[in-house]
Amino acid sequence: MKTLFALPTRILLLLNLCSSPAVAEEIAVSGRVVEVTVYRDQARVIRDIEVPASDKPQQIRVLGLPVQLVEDSSFTEAGEGTQVLSHQVISQNTVDEQVANELAADLNEMRAAKEAAENHLEIIRQDMSTLERLVTFSADKIQQNLDRATLEVQSVTALADFVMERRRILAQELFTQQAEVQALKHQIAERQKQPTKTPVGEVPYEAIITVRSDKGGLVRLSYDVEGVHWYPRYKINGQLGRPNEVAVQMEAVVVQHSGESWQDVSLTLATSTPQTQAAGPSLAPLRIHTAALRNPDASTHVLGQFTSAAQSELLHDELAALTLELNMEAGRQQIQELTSTEEVQRNVAMEVPSRAFDETYELAGKVSLASHTQPQTLAILRASLEAEFYHVATPLLSSFAFRETSLINESGKSFIDGQADVYLDEKFVGRVEIPPTAVGQRMTIGFGTDRQVRTRRELLSRKEAIKGGNRFSELACRLVISNFHVEPVEIRLLDRIPLAVQDDSINITLTDEELARLSSDPLYQRLQQPTGILRWDITVPGNRFGSQAYDHEYKYSIEHDREQTVASEDLMQRMMEDLEFESIHGGMGGMGGGFGGGSF
């Protein structure tokens, strides 16, 4: 492989001015696309250009560059023994001044006609309004004449005929004028779509590279193109007869509409963009002071105002703006920790869902992708992952249990967020959203409803008593599971008890005996149990339904001021925040027949 030496465009131009070659031989070539990296919204293309040997400077004209080329994105690399003196990319689109002038004149004429039509339309509306005022005035006069017994029938009839006739005429004029205004608007919109550029030749861009190569060599031209993007799609297949294994297939759906075809290229798929920042944000100090009590949202509002103003001054520095934005959002969360009445708060850095993983996938072999408006699908990886199947029953949310599996990503590549089609025994059961999942990270996948396992929740009793100045309540609940399968079923049974916003205002407790029965899963104990989510890992024998249904009972107590009642504010917002946190740190699963969740 020849060593390539890269020089930026500005230095190359400077070297070119200094060397000032007197004569350059011009050669027209197309080169060959050899490597492509497809990002989420762009692609970076590398063309190899063979340079013949010559003792004179040569001007290589590279033809066939695509219409979607991003200007100022080109870069050259020279192989050993070859020197690039300068390079530039030229647009072959030229503006036809005559066409542009005709378009401007037509648009001005149409806009003038539209303005006149709109003025006429307004006059018609005013005439209709005047007519209605005349009717109102005449009605008052007729009523006065009736009161005085001096009504002239012929005058009233003539007035009525006049009003009805004018209404018909004005209504027709209004309809006609509205149609004319709409037609002119449509004509203007269509005229604006007409191009003012006339293409010269068949390709819109070409590159001119001035090189010196005594023995011949290689030049690589890199450039970015738009009109290209990709997204992942997964297929997950489980087998009831093989409960310890799940097959995962990852594909890339690529839209390649750059204007050039890629034949037999080395293709890499990347989740980042060419502008992705390599450096991480810096943590800034958080300076606070005391102030008079006010609206608790005021501090957050001030932070938000400062963020916008500061960002507007830092638009030239993307990393600085991002660092400030992240620090301001984190500062808002920390101020809320100090001022909010909630004693337990959980937050995630604002970029975690979108920037959890930057991954690249190098496809094996050579790939060909034509420029086409329709998506094209490429296989990325196939893996058989060790899995653990179980059922999730949540009587509060559903009368049926859901199949779910917990697996560890041992595919060798991180999974990025995307949609997955889920199959069980080759039958489609639904779709799930795959969260960003690193290599070695655990994730949960829903496998749809099992209608052979049903559940319900019952409140058995609620006992209340007054203890001093407090009201004490003890609630007994029963969770019923019916298993219509012949074989036993492993079930994660979920329920919840309320969570006090302030620990000293409401006391909610489970007995030590009840706590001992909860799941011993460390992840559950760390993330879900402190939030009032109850989980029992149970085995329900087969053929347990009807009077033989499986019953699981538990009790909890709640104590609060006797003069107060239980309430919940901002219920939807708080639940949305908790569900977002759970989906990032470890999905609860069992919702909608397929809920994917990663875990940190």
Residue 219 has pLDDT above 50, yes or no: yes
The per-residue pLDDT for 174 is 83
| Top-confidence residue, 347 or 98 | 98
Spatial separation of the C-alpha atoms in residues 588 and 596, rounded to whole Å: 9
Residue type for 54, please? Answer: S
Instruction: Please give the residue that has the higher pLDDT: either 321 or 201.
Output: 321
**pLDDT above 60 (res 303):** no
**Mean pLDDT, range 23-40, rounded to an integer:** 86
Compute the average pLDDT of residues 554-578.
Answer: 80
Residue 112's pLDDT band (cuts 50, 70, 90): confident
Relative to beta strand 58-65, strand 25-29 is: parallel
Alpha carbons 308 and 302: distance in angstroms, whole number: 10
- Closest CA relative to residue 56, chosen from 97, 32, 27, 35: 27
- What span, in angstroms and rounded, lies between the C-alpha atoms of 448 and 592? 8
> Cα–Cα distance between 435 and 433 in angstroms, integer?
6
Residue pair 466/437 in contact by the 8 Å Cβ criterion: no
Mean pLDDT check: name the lowest of 141-155, 178-192, 235-249, 495-509: 141-155
Kindly state the average pLDDT of the residues 176-190: 84
- In 3D, which of 243, 241, 265, 245 has the Cα closest to residue 254? 265
Q: How many CB atoms lie within 10 A of CB 549?
A: 15
- Flag whether pLDDT at 297 surpasses 60: no
The pLDDT value given to residue 61: 92
More confident call, 162 vs 338: 162
Dihedral-angle region of residue 12 (phi above 0 means left; psi in -120 to 50 means alpha; beta otherwise): alpha
Q: Looking at the predicted structure, is the pLDDT value of residue 74 above 60?
A: yes
List Cβ neighbours of 262 (8 Å cut-off, separation of 6 or more): 33, 36, 45, 256, 367, 368, 369, 370
Give the mean pLDDT of the chain: 80
- CA 207 to chain centroid, in Å, comes to 36
Higher pLDDT, 57 or 577: 57
* Spatial separation of the C-alpha atoms in residues 289 and 17, rounded to whole Å: 59
pLDDT band at 109 (very low <50, low <70, confident <90, very high): confident
Structure token pair of residue 328: 């301001």
What pLDDT, on a 0 to 100 scale, did the predictor assign at position 598? 47
Neighbours of 214 (CB within 10 A): 12
- pLDDT tens for 501-555 read 766 778 888 988 889 999 999 989 988 888 889 999 999 999 999 999 999 999 9
Residues 387-405 have pLDDT tens digits of 999 999 999 888 999 999 9
For 53, 75, 79, 87, the CA distances from 16, given in Å and listed in that order, are: 19, 16, 18, 9
Q: What is the pLDDT of residue 124?
A: 85
Mean pLDDT of 350-357: 49
Q: Token pair for residue 382?
A: 């196939």
**What average pLDDT does this structure show over 192-216?**
72
Say how far apart CA 583 and CA 444 lie, in whole Å: 10
Q: pTM, whole model, 2 decimals?
A: 0.63
How many Å apart are CA 68 and CA 255, to the nearest integer? 13
Q: Answer for the pair 536, 524: CB distance below 8 angstroms, yes or no.
A: no
Tell me what pLDDT residue 280 has.
64
**Residue 148 pLDDT > 90, yes or no?**
no
Range scoring the smallest mean pLDDT among 36-50, 216-230, 289-303:
289-303
Out of 3-12, 247-256, 360-369, 470-479, which region has the weakest mean confidence (pLDDT)?
3-12
**Higher pLDDT residue, 247 or 19?**
247
DSSP 472: E
- Checking if the pLDDT of 314 tops 60, the result is no
In angstroms and rounded to an integer, the radius of gyration of the C-alpha atoms of the chain is 36
Q: Rounded distance, CA 535 to CA 518, Å?
A: 6
Per-residue pLDDT averaged across 341-360, rounded? 57
The pLDDT value recorded for residue 198 is 47
Determine the pLDDT at residue 446: 92
pLDDT of 241-282, one tens digit each?
Answer: 888 899 999 999 999 999 899 999 999 999 876 555 556 666
> What does the pLDDT read at residue 281?
66
Q: Is 448 left (phi over 0), alpha (psi -120 to 50) or beta?
A: left
15 — pLDDT class (breaks 50, 70, 90) = very low
Helix (H, G, I), strand (E, B) or coil at 133: helix
- Rounded to whole angstroms, how far apart are CA atoms 432 and 592? 9
First to last CA, the chain: 42
pLDDT at 119: 86
Cα–Cα nearest to 180, from 116, 129, 104, 106: 116
Per-residue pLDDT averaged across 69-93, rounded?
87
The one-character DSSP state at 285 is P
Determine the Cα–Cα distance for residues 38 and 230; give it in Å rounded to an integer.
7
* pLDDT band of 318, cuts 50, 70, 90: low
Does an H or E element contain 438, and which? none
Considering only residues 333 and 124, tell me which one the structure prediction assigns the higher pLDDT: 124
For the ranges 111-115, 414-418, 425-429, the lowest mean pLDDT is seen at 111-115
pLDDT at res. 269: 95
* Overall average pLDDT of the 126-132 stretch: 81
Q: What is the pLDDT of residue 60?
A: 92
Residue 287 has pLDDT above 70, yes or no: no
pLDDT at 26: 83
Alpha helices, DSSP H only, in 149-247?
Answer: 153-193
Q: What does 6-27 look like in DSSP terms, one character per residue?
A: EE-HHHHHHHHHHH--S--EEE
Q: For residue 496, is pLDDT > 80?
A: yes
pLDDT value, residue 126:
85
**In whole angstroms, what is the distance from residue 131 CA to residue 164 CA?**
10
Q: In this predicted structure, what is the pLDDT of residue 595? A: 39
Whether 589 has a pLDDT exceeding 60, the answer reads no
Q: How confident is the model at residue 192 (pLDDT cuts 50, 70, 90)?
A: confident
Q: Is the pLDDT of residue 18 over 50?
A: no
pLDDT above 50 for 37: yes
Query: From CA 475, how far away is CA 478, in angstroms rounded?
Result: 10
Judged against a pLDDT cut of 60, whether residue 41 lies above it is answered with yes
Q: Is the pLDDT of residue 345 over 60?
A: no
> Is pLDDT at 466 greater than 80 in this prediction?
yes
Share of the chain above pLDDT 70, in %: 74
Is 413:364 a contact under the CB 8 Å cutoff?
no
Distance (Å, rounded) from C-alpha 84 to C-alpha 78?
A: 6
| Residue 296 reports pLDDT greater than 70 | no
* Three-class secondary structure of residue 255 per DSSP: strand
Output helix, strand, coil percentages for the chain, rounded to the nearest 5: 30, 40, 30
